[in-house]
Structure 1
Amino acid sequence: MTPLNATSREKAIARLRRFLALPAELPWLEFKENSATSGPEIAKYACALGNSARLHDEPAAYMVWGVSDSHEIVGTTFQWQTAKGKGNEDLLPWLQRVIDPAPQISFKTVEVDGFRVVLMRVPAAISAPYAYDHQRFFRLGSYTKNLMQYPDHERELWRKLNQFQFEASNVAEELTEAEIIELLDPEAFFMNRPELPRISGNALIDTLASAQAISHSSELGWCIPAWSALMYARSLKDFPRLNGLAPRVMHFAGSSRTNLQREWEFNEGYAASFGPIMTLFETVRPGGETLDATGRRVETPPLPTVAFREVFANALMHQDLEQRGQYLTVEIFSDRVEVTNPGTPLVNPERFIDAASTTRNVRLGEALRLAHFVEQRGSGWDKIVESLEAAHFPPALIRANGNTTVTLSAYRTFALMTTEEKIQAVYQHACLGFLASRPVTNASIRKRFGLRDSQASQATRLINAALEKGRIRVHDADAGPRSRRYLPYWAV
């Protein structure tokens, strides 16, 4: 966010006039003429106003010198540049040293209607309540109070601090209504929302605001939050804070990264780019008709679209938006597709199939659900596994090492799958069976791999290997080998 002292004079004055138009001072806004100019007084106000801004869902708090209680601009003699904290230390570095956590306080001096006005901006508390001299303050109406004496307000402040997420932070501010439409694509917003009528003008702004795709504050006017830009941007390049969050698709010749054929970057918001990425996948995915070494045509099943769609949608929803230097990528090889998103999973990858839907990006997840890209019912991995099982594909494999990578392999017969893949497939099959109350037996495992009845011994050996690895357990040990049922290791 642009520091106040880097804000243009025009925008600072427009901000001040919005404050003056408010009916009264608010817990995050204080007007003074020439009082409260000592370092300790300002530090106490900064803590109280910054904590109150978070309590009242404002991005920042302000203390303004040069305005009377009746909201008239009267000017001030306060000089923040020469003001001192304790020990004759310059005011600004002193404030940032003695307030914990250190706030990025900024000052701006402007001349308005011939009067000198000073604005101090304090960002709303983010990680913990602000404290000065080991005391936490907040504003109760127009009074500064010790937060420790108001436990209900303190609990509410901690709740809001814990809920703060990057996806809700602003990536564009102080916009006009025309600028909103230049940055956000209304068609992308309405694309998968048949329940909403196509509208324009003021009604469109009202609709976007009611959907929280844009917000309005007294300080910053019209703003666009990160999740909305990610979904509906005409171009993500228009939002510097979202640099690197556009999905990339890379198509390689062969099975290694040494021969990149082509790379695409989709800078439209996710609502507009999701469909083209799916179309691109269906064009270059592994499988279909190929030629073998002798020139004969060979048909292999293409990688199921449903499996890729669910993996890609999950990657969009669960990516860590604050992890910089990593990108959401789709890598398409001749023998596999790898989808990587920044961030470690919030749940154990072994429990993706049965875990309840959990996402670190609640608003983005809800927007993806409204666009019918995800269901947020925890059923995505059920669909991935079911689609791969139905066509006898190798299982989806998950790798987590700061990022999360899901590998979807091209079609291979049972004989060509690795032992690791076979055991993982049995485990995933047992998870699905348990959740659907379907028995998992030698026969169901043969069906999963497309094996004949005469290959029951191969299925038995595979079951024993999965038991030895602790991936499954026997449900009814007294039953005969052919009718014995199996459960995932965690089932009770």
Structure 2
Amino acid sequence: MDPQRDIDLIDELRSQATETAWLEFKENLGDENRIGKLISALSNAARLEGKENAFLVWGVEDGTHDVVGTKFNPFTKTVGAQPFELWLRQRLSPAPVLKFRSVDHPEGKLVLLEIPAPTMAPTAFESVSYVRVGSTTPKLTDDPARYQALIEKMRPYTWEHGIAATYVPASDVLKLIDFASYFRLTGQSVPTNDEAILSKLQSDKLIQADVGGRWNILNLGAILFASDLDEFETSLARKGVRFVRYAGSDRTATVSHRRDGKRGYAVGFENLLEFINGLLPQNEHIGQALRVAQPLFPTLSIRELVANALIHQDMTISGAGPQIELFEDRIEITNPGRPLMETERMIDQPPRSRNEAMASLMRRMGMCEEQGSGLDKVFKEVEVCQLPAPLLKAGDSSMQVVLYGPRRFAEMSAEERVRACYFHAVLQFMGGERMRNNTLCARFGIDAKNAAQASGVIRKALELELIKVADAEHPRAGYYPWWA
């Protein structure tokens, strides 16, 4: 942590007219139990006040806010045989990440404690939760109204609102963030002065004001608009998109192209797609729906699948980012994080994203379809091109979509045929229609004289209970997906 930032932070805290519910000044408070209760009270009060952190400062006089210095030293203090910080952590729950810092203020030596506000449950000391009311610290359960308000204000951690870089000068913010691309992609004119530019970035929660006239760059701003992700912490830089092209059909083949994304997702999105499309094999002769010299894979489908991988990944998984692997017969797009819904229901239900702010901004910039309409369009385009149905694979800590190149019905495996049948039934149902033998024939490019081939696929899908007869009294009237 920058020592000057701590000085600026303390001076800003001292500028408060009075102590607030999330701020306390002490001179030499050393009683460990009083400190523990105060940490619980300040933490809970911070969430009630809409703050992400509370602060406890030793060495500042309560009434005047003058710096008087302190003899309190949390780094050498012990309780019994235990270091003080360890003793505290064992008695606070959920255990917050406490940040004691010694501050050499120009007017005296201080100790600063930054206390995070709770996100999942009220902060408790010795299993009792407290809250700050004026200068008192009553039990939270003694104030039912505040307790209920705290429960309502707590929320799970949102990665997008985390801080990627702190205490950044305004001039450096405008170097680290590609603000010109932000204004271009959001359809806004670039303001004529830096102050207005920063204000716009702040309004979209890409940055936030810090102390001392400086700024914090939030994760959302960095991951979307970073000029160079390597300028941030390694954990963020590792979330750049990795692309690999193999010269064959498996990973033992020679790697012919490799690209590790260095720019934010938004500023690098179009260049990434252009790079991928330039490497796609060309199809010249297969299928009645395809024209000569079209890419092997539908480019609009690739655009949507790449955007989905960016939006729906679990950003809290460290050391991993989206990966795109291009083979001679397929493209695999993988993102960290197990999906939040079953793969077989992804095209008929609205998506659930861990990164709603990023999803909203990317839709606003036209990088993906409106909510709930993207993946079904991918499957529709695949059907028009008479390609095998995409494979959606949920792993323990990842999600993968495999988009296959053209294969005739005779070249598809039994599993691929049944998968295509199921998703065809889903698309028909979403369009207010029923899947029938003739619609499945059209989907596979099967001649009417060979309709028995489609009937065999339907029988297998019925056996596996992926589809069902739409009308039991008229079995030939068509089919629905199993959940309809």
Using structure 2 for the length normalisation, give the TM-score.
0.92
**How far did 1:320 drift?**
0.7
Judge conservation of contact 1:174–1:223 (CA < 8 Å) in 2.
yes
* C-alpha spacing 1:8/1:205, structure 2 compared with 1 (3 Å): closer
Q: Separation in 2 of the partners of 1:372 and 1:187?
A: 17
The corresponding residue for 1:76 is 70
CA contact (8 A) 1:19 1:219 kept: no
Q: Is the 8 A contact 1:471 1:488 kept in 2?
A: yes
SS in structure 2 of the partner of residue 473 of structure 1: strand
- What residue is the counterpart of 2:461 in the other structure? 466
Structure 1 pair 320/38, CA: closer, same or farther in 2 (3 Å)?
same
Correspondent of 1:107 among 100, 111, 115: 100
Post-superposition Cα deviations, 1:66-112, rounded to whole Å, max 9, x if no partner, equal 22222222333334344444x46443222222222333323233343
Deviations 1:161-194 (A, max 9, x none): 4332222211111122112112111022123211
Q: Number of residue pairs matched?
A: 473
Residues 403-442 of structure 1 mapped to structure 2, 5 A cutoff? 403-442=398-437
Whole-angstrom CA distance in 2 between matches of 1:419 and 1:215: 54
Residue 4 of structure 1 is matched in structure 2 by none
Cα distance, 1:19 vs structure 2: 1.2
How do residues 93-492 of structure 1 correspond to structure 2 at under 5 angstroms? Answer: 93-194=86-187, 196-199=188-191, 200-217=193-210, 222-240=215-233, 241-258=235-252, 259-289=254-284, 302-401=296-395, 402-479=397-474, 481=476, 484-491=477-484
Q: 1:432 offset after TM fit, Å?
A: 1.0
The CA distance in 2 between the partners of 1:145 and 1:376, in whole Å, is 48
Q: Which residue of 2 aligns with 1:91?
A: 84
Q: 1:221 to 1:71 in 2, by over 3 A?
A: farther
The one-character-per-residue Cα deviations of 1:305-346 (angstroms, maximum 9, x if unpaired) are 121111111111100111124331000000000000011110
Cα pair 2:5 2:212 within 8 Å, conserved: no
For residues 301 and 8 of structure 1, the distance between their equivalents in structure 2, rounded to whole angstroms, comes to 52
**Aligned partner of residue 227 in structure 1, secondary structure:** helix
Distance in 2, Cα, partners of 1:140 & 1:197: 46
1:26·1:142 contact (CA, 8 Å) conserved in 2? Answer: no
Cα displacement string for residues 459-484 of structure 1 (whole angstroms, at most 9, x for unaligned residues): 11111111111111111244374xx2
Give the distance between the partners of 1:183 and 1:59, measured in 2 at CA: 24
Asked whether the 8 Å contact 2:241–2:321 carries over to 1, the reply is yes
- TM-score normalized by the length of structure 1: 0.90
Using the alignment, how far apart are the partners of 1:444 and 1:152 within structure 2? 60
Asked whether the equivalents of residues 382 and 432 of structure 1 are also in contact (C-alpha less than 8 Å), the reply is yes
Aligned residue for 1:374, secondary structure, equals coil
What CA distance in whole angstroms lies between the structure 1 residues aligned with 2:319 and 2:82?
Answer: 38
Paired residue for 2:40?
A: 47
Runs of 5+ in structure 1 lacking a partner? 1-6, 291-297
**What whole-Å deviation, never above 9, does each CA across 1:217-255 have from its counterpart, x for those lacking one?**
559952122122111111111221313200011111110
Could you say what secondary structure the match of 1:327 adopts?
coil
SS in 2 for 1:25: coil
Identity of aligned residues (%): 33
Deviation at 1:114, TM superposition (A): 3.7
Q: How large is the RMSD of aligned CA atoms in angstroms?
A: 2.2
Residue-by-residue CA offset, 1:386-424 (whole Å, 9 max, x unaligned): 100011111011111121110000011111111111111
Per the alignment, residue 28 of structure 1 pairs with 22
| SS of alignment partner, residue 107 of structure 1 | strand
Counterpart CA distance in 2 for 1:114 and 1:213 is: 35
